[in-house]
Amino acid sequence: MRRIKVFDTTLRDGEQSPGASMNVEEKLQVARQLQRLGVDIIEAGFPIASPGDFEAVRRIAEEIKGVTIAGLARAKDEDIDRAGEALKPAQQRRIHTFIATSDIHLQYKLRMSREAVLDRAVRAVKRARQYTDDVEFSAEDATRSDWDYLCKVIEAVIEAGARTVNIPDTVGYAIPQEFGELIEYIKNKVPNIDKAVISVHCHNDLGLAVANSLTAILKGAGQVECTINGIGERAGNAAMEEIVMALKTRPRFFEADTGIVTQEIYKTSRLVSKITGMVVQPNKAIVGANAFAHEAGIHQDGFLKERSTYEIMRPEDVGIPQSKLILGKHSGRHAFKARLEELGYRLTEEELNRAFERFKRLADQKKYIFDEDIETLVSEEVSKVPELYRLIDLHVTSGINVKPTARIKLGIDDKVIEKTEEGDGPVDAVYRAIQAITETKSSLLKFEVKSITGGTDALGEVTVTLEEDGRTVRGHGADTDIIVASAKAYINALNKLAARRR
């Protein structure tokens, strides 16, 4: 197994995401977690960019031990000197200096000749070597550079003392096959390439940052530059967690691994998301909320029989406690029964069938089914009393300057009776109609409503307390429509009273 170095640039390139800037204390907090994660190099910032960035790099260099701390510097004396000063307290320090090598950058941005850029790159590496033996050189926009000129620059900076040469796909332009060919070309054309580690730094403008990074590893790159959650300029950088877990999951294919403590990945992702305010999309690989969640019935059935049928990684390996079976309209009886058993319910086959039918109806009404929803469904099912009264239909009219009216249709034994009544409110109108149909004389002692879960589509639970001839009962009803839930609760209580009378 080749050991691939992980160069984490969350605190430098990642922080350049719009709105993701961090103060010194926040950067320190992330750096401590990156140390626990086991990255090899932390690029702590761009010291000359601002006094805050300088201070962040200096504090991280002072406090974080056992990890190489890097500072970025343009190929300018003042940048390199500032980086050297900020990194002075570090046990292990690296100056990362860069200059563009593509003709488009030379012509429009730098307004320099190829010879001048080559000379500037060599002088920058030599100056950085005055502060540390560990110098990295990046050829900005390498993938749009002339390959022979790029090789010439790489050879010269290695001769000047660069230990790592970085091949950035600065604008996310490369295609994996092409990028792999470039790494091979460099290995074959640069005579002193064996004296340096080849690094890659890929951007995600075409969604290929991770694919390009992995291709480079296959072709001999020994370091990958990446960020937590893939944050960074424009569409972001290669996501560290995706690269690491690809190597971990496919060891025979890549024959390479990292020193990352993978169980710390999820915790690190959450911390960076919280500090930067950049929310991780639910379908994000490895750390997204849905990465280890299953809703489709076929998937759930296979997963319950053998998890490897639909999971190529264990959630525990990235620090997520367990996989989730999401119960929704696509779920099957196997998953529903498994969740019931997890919640402590053992239903008969008949009870399970009835509860599952009610679950399916509820799943058509709301996006997310919570454990509390299931418990309510099941408690109603297993605690059912004989149904003298059955709710068949309900229609309510209510509003401002409208008299609340309820039309109720109930089944009593083998009869169906319908009544319409008015009330002070929709629930009062419903209860008056039910009383008229059932001809009961019970008193409503208590009426309680609560939301079982959050959200506007939450299942509402109604509990009523009725008293008749000294007998007191409690009725329960649940529905996404609170008026329907109220009717169910009232009828449930009336059925209990009828059962007691019998």
CA angle 392, 397, 398 (to 5 degrees): 135
Q: Note the pLDDT of residue 413.
A: 82
- The answer as to whether 107 is a domain residue is yes
Q: Note the pLDDT of residue 18.
A: 81
Which of 125-129, 139-143, 265-269, 335-339 is least confident?
335-339
C-alpha span between 453 and 367 (Å, rounded) = 12
Q: Note the pLDDT of residue 379.
A: 65
Mean of the pLDDT values across residues 344-355? Answer: 81
Is 90 exceeded by the pLDDT of residue 351? no
Indicate if 109 and 239 belong to the same structural domain: yes
More confident residue, 334 or 76: 76
One-letter identity of residue 140: E
Q: Note the pLDDT of residue 420.
A: 96
Greatest CA separation for the chain: 103
Q: Name which of 59, 56, 58, 64 is nearest 22 in CA terms.
A: 56
382, 412, 442: which is the final residue of a domain? 382
350, 382, 414: which is the final residue of a domain? 382
75: domain CATH number is 3.20.20.70
C-alpha span between 240 and 242 (Å, rounded) = 5
C-alpha span between 219 and 1 (Å, rounded) = 14
- Name every residue whose Cβ is closer than 8 Å to that of residue 117 and which is 6 or more positions away in sequence: 99, 100, 101, 106, 110, 153
Residue 138: which pLDDT band, with cuts at 50, 70 and 90? very high
Q: Determine the structural domain holding residue 413 and report its residue range.
A: 389-501
Is 70 exceeded by the pLDDT of residue 385? no
Indicate if 65 and 194 belong to the same structural domain: yes
Q: Which tokens belong to 248? A: 């971990």
Q: Note the pLDDT of residue 453.
A: 66
30, 275 Cβ separation under 8 angstroms: yes
Is 90 exceeded by the pLDDT of residue 105? yes
- The answer as to whether 70 is a domain residue is yes
Mean of the pLDDT values across residues 295-303? Answer: 75
362, 382, 402: which is the final residue of a domain? 382
C-alpha span between 3 and 356 (Å, rounded) = 51
- The answer as to whether 281 is a domain residue is no
482: domain CATH number is 3.30.160.270
Indicate if 139 and 156 belong to the same structural domain: yes
- DSSP H helical segments within 92-202, as ranges? 103-105, 114-128, 147-160, 176-189
Which residues, listed in sequence order, are joined to residue 183 by a DSSP beta bridge? none
C-alpha span between 407 and 393 (Å, rounded) = 8
What is the count of structural domains for the chain?
3
More confident residue, 373 or 272: 272
More confident residue, 445 or 159: 159
Indicate if 360 and 418 belong to the same structural domain: no
Mean of the pLDDT values across residues 174-199? Answer: 98
Is 100 exposed, middle or buried (CB count within 10 Å of its CB: 0-12, 13-18, 19+)? buried
Indicate if 183 and 101 belong to the same structural domain: yes
More confident residue, 357 or 330: 357
Mean of the pLDDT values across residues 85-89? Answer: 98
Is 80 exceeded by the pLDDT of residue 369? no
- The answer as to whether 309 is a domain residue is yes
Is 70 exceeded by the pLDDT of residue 312? yes
Is 60 exceeded by the pLDDT of residue 254? yes
Is 60 exceeded by the pLDDT of residue 47? yes
Which of 171-180, 186-195, 398-407 is least confident?
398-407
- The answer as to whether 283 is a domain residue is no
Mean of the pLDDT values across residues 224-244? Answer: 97
Indicate if 170 and 315 belong to the same structural domain: no
- The answer as to whether 249 is a domain residue is yes
Q: Note the pLDDT of residue 200.
A: 98
Is 90 exceeded by the pLDDT of residue 451? no
Question: Over the stretch 486-499, which tens digit does the pLDDT of each residue have?
Answer: 999 999 889 888 87
Indicate if 317 and 231 belong to the same structural domain: no
Residue 286: which pLDDT band, with cuts at 50, 70 and 90? very high
- The answer as to whether 169 is a domain residue is yes
Q: Note the pLDDT of residue 45.
A: 96
Q: Note the pLDDT of residue 187.
A: 98
Q: How many residues does the chain have?
A: 502
Q: Which tokens belong to 131? A: 């502060």
Indicate if 174 and 237 belong to the same structural domain: yes
Residue 384: which pLDDT band, with cuts at 50, 70 and 90? low
- The answer as to whether 287 is a domain residue is no
C-alpha span between 139 and 126 (Å, rounded) = 16
Mean of the pLDDT values across residues 115-142? Answer: 98
Indicate if 144 and 73 belong to the same structural domain: yes
Is 90 exceeded by the pLDDT of residue 13? yes
Is 60 exceeded by the pLDDT of residue 164? yes
Q: Note the pLDDT of residue 311.
A: 87
Q: Note the pLDDT of residue 146.
A: 98
Indicate if 300 and 449 belong to the same structural domain: no
Residue 325: which pLDDT band, with cuts at 50, 70 and 90? low
Q: Note the pLDDT of residue 460.
A: 84
E strands within 380-495?
389-399, 402-412, 415-422, 443-451, 460-468, 471-479
In eight-state DSSP terms, residue 455 is: S
CB burial of 131-162 (b: ≥16 within 10 Å; e: otherwise) equals bbebbbbbbbbbbbbeeebbbbbbbbbbebbb
Query: For residue 442, what is the enclosing H or E element?
Result: none
Q: Note the pLDDT of residue 380.
A: 62
Indicate if 412 and 304 belong to the same structural domain: no
Indicate if 20 and 169 belong to the same structural domain: yes
Q: Note the pLDDT of residue 119.
A: 98
What DSSP line would sit under 131-148, residue for residue? T-S-EEEEEETGGGS-HH
pTM: 0.74
Is 60 exceeded by the pLDDT of residue 382? no
